[in-house]
Amino acid sequence: MPSASRTAAAGLLIRGLAKTVYDWMHPAPRDVPRVTYPRDTPPQVGRQDEPCEETGKVKYRDVHEAESKVALNQARYDRGEVEYRLERAYCCEFCGWWHATSQPLRR
């Protein structure tokens, strides 16, 4: 028969282990920035009403315009109105305008 203090110590150890396993299985979400800024913002090439020559994407004037499109898309995605989900806005290194993408940020 183990003593009472020994049983309590074993209980603490098991709870500690369980918490470690739980934390390992449920990592806290990392704080991934949703907006990426290029180191040097290239000059904006071409007209906004023409798609990006490099990516074919719609151009947005600035981070606010692009971010609001992303937010709008995510709300519509959550309501089941669209099948694709935009992830973030970024400034295009080719055309200098802002685009929205469904690709999460790569590290």
**Position 86 contacts Zn ion (CB under 5 A):** no
DSSP-derived 3-state class of residue 31: coil
DSSP calls for 34-57: SEE--SSPPPPPS-TTS--TTT-P
Task: Give yes or no for a contact between 76 and 68, defined as CB atoms under 8 angstroms apart.
Answer: no
**Position 95 contacts Zn ion (CB under 5 A):** yes
Show contacts with Zn ion in window 42-61 (CB under 5 A). Answer: 52, 55
Q: Which residue lies nearer to Zn ion by CB, 66 or 95?
A: 95
**Position 91 contacts Zn ion (CB under 5 A):** no
Binding site for Zn ion (CB under 5 A): 52, 55, 92, 94-95
